[in-house]
Every structure is written in C-alpha cells, then in structure tokens.
A and B are shown apart, each in its own frame.
Chain A
Amino acid sequence: MADVVFDKVNKVYDNGFHAVQDLDLDIKDGEFLVLVGPSGCGKSTALRMVAGLEDVTSGEMKIGGRTVNEVSSKDRDIAMVFQSYALYPHMTVAENIGYGLRIRKMPKDEIDRRVREAAAKLDLTEYLDRRPKQLSGGQRQRVAMGRAIVRSPQVFLMDEPLSNLDAKLRGQMRSEIAQIQHDLGVTTIYVTHDQVEAMTMGDRIALMKRGVLQQVAEPQEMYENPANIFVAGFIGSPPMNMALCRLDREGDSLVVELGSQRLRLAPGVLGEQPGLERYIGRDIVIGIRSEDMEDAALTKDAEHAITADVALVEALGSQIMVHFSLDARAPKDEDSQLLAAEQGDKETAALHSDEVRWVAAFEPRSRVRVGQQITVTVDTERMHFFDPETSAAIRD
C-alpha cells in the first residue's frame, strides 16, 4: 500500500490536445479517491498516467514516494479494472484471476490458494472453470475485480468499472467494491462520470473540468461548499438551482431581484458572508439546493419566499419534486454553459434565456398540483453565491 502523488502533472497529446493541466493531487495511503467529471475532462488520462499506460509530459508522478515517470506499468505494482473488464477470452476464470501471479512465477499451489481466496471473496468459486463468455456482465465485472485483488497491489485503479452494468447491479456492485476496498485498505483511484458513484463511494472526490482540477473534498463538503458553479451544478441530483440576479441592500438586509420578484435574504447572510458586500448593486449568481426550498403552505413563512406556477410534479414517496419556471436570467458564464451542454438540457435550450427552471423538493405532506400557483419558501441561509464572471464561489 502506498500514497499516490501528482505533482504539477501535465499531459499534452501529440496532436497538441492538453488533456491534463498542472494536476496537483495528494492521495493518502489507503484512501478511496474518486476522480469525477464529464467525458473528456482528463480523468481517465490522469488514471492511465498512474497506470503507466500514458507518458507524463511534464511534472512528477509518485507512488509510495518513488517517482514512477519512467517506470513501466509492470513494475509499478498496481492493479487496474477496465471499463470493458478486459478479461482474457481464452482463459478460464481461474486462469484470468491468476494471470498476474503466473507471470510473476509464483509457485502453483500458492497461486491456486490465492485464486480460491479471491474467488470466495467475490462469490466466484463455482465459476472458476468457466470462460468469460459464459458469464453474465456482473460476473465478468467480479472476475475483473478478482484479478485486481488477488495480487494485493499497492494501488487499485478503476476506470468506470460499473458503467456497463444495469442500474440495479450497479447499485449492488457499488457497495460491494466500496466494502472490498474498505476491507483491504488499498489506496484506490476510481474514475467515473457518475456523480452518484462519486458521492457514495469515495473518501474524497476530485472533480475535473477540461483537464483542470476544480475541487478536492470529501463528498459532503463538496456538496455543501462547492468551489464554483461547475462543481455546484455537477454534484447533486437534481443539480443545484441557479439564477443570475441583482443583489441589493434594503434596510439592513440583502435582497436579490429574481426576475420580477424580490427575495429577501435572512439577516445573518451578510454577516456570515461579508464578501457579498462587494456585489451590492451588481449582478451575482445565486444557487439553491432543491431540499433547501419548501412549500410555504407547510412552513408558514412567506417572508423569504417566491411565487411560481408548477410545471411538473414528481412524487417519489419520501419527497415530492416540484418543477417550476422563474422569469429570472440564466447564468451566462462558461461553467453554466458547459453544464447545460453536459446535461443535454433540452428544456433549458427550449426556454428563453430570461427564464430558468428550478426544482424544489417538498415534503410528501405538500398537496401541490400541476398548474397551481405556489409560494416557495427559500432557506436563504443555505443559499450559495457565485461570481457571475469567474464563477467562483463567494465565501467569507
């Protein structure tokens, strides 16, 4: 087991594409780090550089304190699980799992013992004599896992290992992989584009965008304190509701002009985030999570509230997702545009730019119906503020 350090690591492809830019990342011994981001953000490239399957253009890549820039894959003592599983079709499950050990010329009975041990851990014992094509997707995935754990390597690398499974199996394997990693305590780098996997599996999440690391934090921390609009929009489902508005002062409290409405912020907001002072009288991007809004009929709080027409209601049982439009401006910065493109948001594209669609999570007691005009209480103390140009979060 070992720590993995990226020190100003860059990757520039021959065609000039800068896939990873100045990546600084310190992954602790035994940590489960999830590299997440939209496709083409450089996360897989970063992983493949750890594996030694891509050269490092500049910077230093260290595993367990040893610089591995010039060390070939086979000497790095790592194991990798591929998205396609990459099982050897001409070998049985047992041979697949034991391949790395055979290559290392381990005694036969030792290989056998280790393969059986790994197979038992993954419920594969009865399939040891089968070939990959006789297995289901989930079983193949397990064999790929088995091949990684049997070697007890210093680092596990996983490249979207669950993306070929159906939703149910994915949920199951998610917890299984997390459990195995926890039991073995092996440093793990896990690449995914699925923010749910990132939130549920990782000790920490590293979010990348266009080759640049955006934020590294524990899942809850990243959810609650996103560093910028991109992180805020990428982490969380449904994504954070955002709008571009004007910030004003009214008496001793702040007010945002949300289209034709004015939303009064709680008095403590300015005290907690004095940085907002600079934005008074200017545009600002506000963000609010779905669960931080509630049906005003239940909260009896109309002071920090907005009104809207309900466009869609999704009852999930434990909560009710209420979609509504506001005549506020949509943020125009690069991050917001990237997010819209990423989510392939046809709804947003169809809407005017001075209309935003928000989703609120109401309690199931709420009796909201489609078409109804409702008042929504906003927990303004939990509101996020971002700079409309740099898209960075406004803290302190």
Chain B
Amino acid sequence: MSSGMPTPATGAAGAADGRALGDGPGLLDTPKQPVQLGSAQGSWFSQVGWRHIVALLAVAFSLFPIIFVISAAFNPQGTLSSTTLIPTGASTENFTGLLERTAFKHWFINSVVIAAVAGALSMFLSALAAYAFSRYRFKGRRPGLMFLLLVQMFPQFLAMVTIYIMFTRITELYPSLGFNTWWGLIILYMGGALGVNTWLMKGFFDTIPKDLDESAKVDGATHTQVFFGIILPLVTPILAVVGLLSFIGTINEFLIANIFLTEGNSKTLAVGLFGLVAGERNNNFGIFAAGTLLTAIPTVALFFALQKYIVGGLTAGAVKG
C-alpha cells in the first residue's frame, strides 16, 4: 500500500503545481507567498488518502471473524469466553480432538464427494438446458424459461415435506437412493440448482455469436459436435462460475442435509459440525472452529484451481474487430 502512496514531498509538489495552474493570476498577484505544506497534505488526503482508509476499514471488517475463528481453533481451552482476537496460547489440541473423537473424516469425504458430483452434474445439465434455450426456437421455450424462474422464487424448504414423504417411499423401494446415501442427496441438489444455473448460463450462451454454430454446422458438425467442440470451450468462464457456486452452495447446505442425513457417518460437514455445538452444554467451540477452518480448504482450493477460467474475453476475436 505504501508503494502506491506518493511521498509527502512529491504530493506537495503536485499540489503546488495544481495551485499554480488553477490560481495562476492569484499567484502572480502575491508572488512571495510560500506554498503551505499543510494544505498540500490535506489535498492529498482528500484526493487519494481517504480511499486507503475505506479500504483498511473494509479489510478489517471482513478479516475480523476469520481471525477470531483462527484464534478460537488454536485456543486450547475451547470456550468462546476464553477466546480473544489475539490468541493467548496455541495448541493443535482442537484439531487432534476433532479428528480422533468425531467422525470428521467421514463428514469431510461425504461433503466433498457430494458437492463435487452434484456441482459437476448440475453444471453439465444446466449447460445442456442453456444451450437449448439459447439456440433453438421451439414451442414452450418462453414458458419454460419463465417456469424455471418462477420455481426459483419459492424457498427450497417449502418442498421439504414433499421431499421427506417422497424419499421415505424411495428408501423403502431403493435403499441405495434413499436417506443417508450420497446419491439421494446428489439428485436432490441437482434439481434445486438447475434453474438459477440455467438462467445464468443462457445469458452467457447468448453472447456467443450464432454464426459460430452455423459455421460449424456447414463445416459438417452435428449438434453434439457443435456443443462439445465449439460452444463448451467458449463458455468455460461461466462453467467455472456456475461450478464454483454450486459447489459452495452444496457444501454449505444445511437444511435439507440435516433432514436427509441422520446416521453419524453419513453426515456432511455442515450437519456434523452443527451437531458439535447443538447441545445445551459441553459445547466445544474450539473443536467446532477447527472444523470450520478445515471445511474452508476444499472451497478455497477449488477457487484457486478455477480462477484462471473465470476470466472472460475468450470469445474476443471470434468475429470482426
């Protein structure tokens, strides 16, 4: 930050120049009056400095909870009241406790697998739907789009009772798709995310010139070849965004997962970690904080892996320019 700040000397010179230009005649009238350093400093602050203050405040605001959680995770006493922003003592006791005394490893694997599979599948399905909605003109296209949007407007838990009854039957008939299974939850999440993702992607697909599809078709490509060979490579930014959003949404999802997953080893991180602090007493917030820190790892890792795809501009140069 300091490298971006001009030294007071150059700042003063800059301000003096500005004054000389702005108040040219005034300065000529009183040529002997020295330029005030203080007022120069003030004008630097009013022009640039306040932005740094705002930025610092924003950074402090957003970092505070994270630092507090880190501090709590390393606090050996494991209570909220004994945790301060700057840790008083450091130990990895909470982490070892988490790994040894809870089913954290199972929860972690469950969460990552479910989020990855559901995210990838919903990304693919909504890409297919978005392609159709963006490229083809068919009966029911507009109502279909509206319906997708409308369904999104109802909160998910409205369907909770229905889902519960449905899955009670499914668990009886096909236990491998029922409660406490990966696939059951994955299917549920896929359906839930489809609407928003399809709309998001359709918007991006619309920006890919239709000439490209037509050109590929004339070159001899089938619809499938156009989709996988031409369109998909060009929409990677939105695929990355949608994939990341679905992953985060899924890995953080609590409400449905809490109803769906009741057995200890089948829980996801959100459900499992909540269980650690849901009791009325004996809540070890230190272990909970350690768990939340570890939970952030897959999300952050995915973000870094996808970061380079989230830059747009791939389509530049497709058409004239």
Contacts and interface: CB of A to CB of B under 8 A. Distances in A.
A80 B221 CA distance: 13
Contact of B319 (A51, A86, A134): A86
A133 B316 contact: yes
B234 A90 contact: yes
A84 interface: yes
B230, B315, B320: residue with the most chain A Cβ atoms closer than 10 Å: B320
22 contacts: A52-B218, A53-B214, A73-B217, A74-B217, A74-B220, A74-B221, A82-B211, A82-B214, A82-B215, A84-B209, A84-B211, A84-B319, A85-B319, A86-B318, A87-B319, A90-B233, A99-B229, A103-B220, A103-B225, A134-B317, A147-B219, A157-B218
A137 B321 CA distance: 7
A179 interface: no
Nearest to A78: B218
Interface of A: 51-53, 72-74, 78-80, 82-90, 99-100, 103-104, 131-135, 137, 140, 147, 151, 157, 164
Given A82-B211, A84-B211, A103-B225, A51 B317 contact: no
A80 B214 CA distance: 9
Given A86-B209, A86-B212, A88-B230, A74 B320 contact: no
Given A82-B211, A131-B317, A134-B317, 11 more contacts: A53-B217, A53-B218, A72-B217, A73-B217, A82-B215, A84-B209, A88-B230, A89-B234, A99-B229, A133-B316, A133-B321
B224 to A, nearest CB: 11
A104 B315 contact: no
Given A86-B211, A89-B234, A100 B219 contact: yes
B314 interface: yes
Contact of B316 (A89, A137, A157): A89
B132 to A, nearest CB: 18
Interface residues of B, number: 25
Contacts, number: 86
B214 A86 contact: yes
A78 B234 CA distance: 25
Nearest to A79: B218
A133 B319 CA distance: 9
A53 B212 CA distance: 12
B16 interface: no
Contacts of A85: 319-320
B318 A74 contact: no
Contacts of A132: 317-318
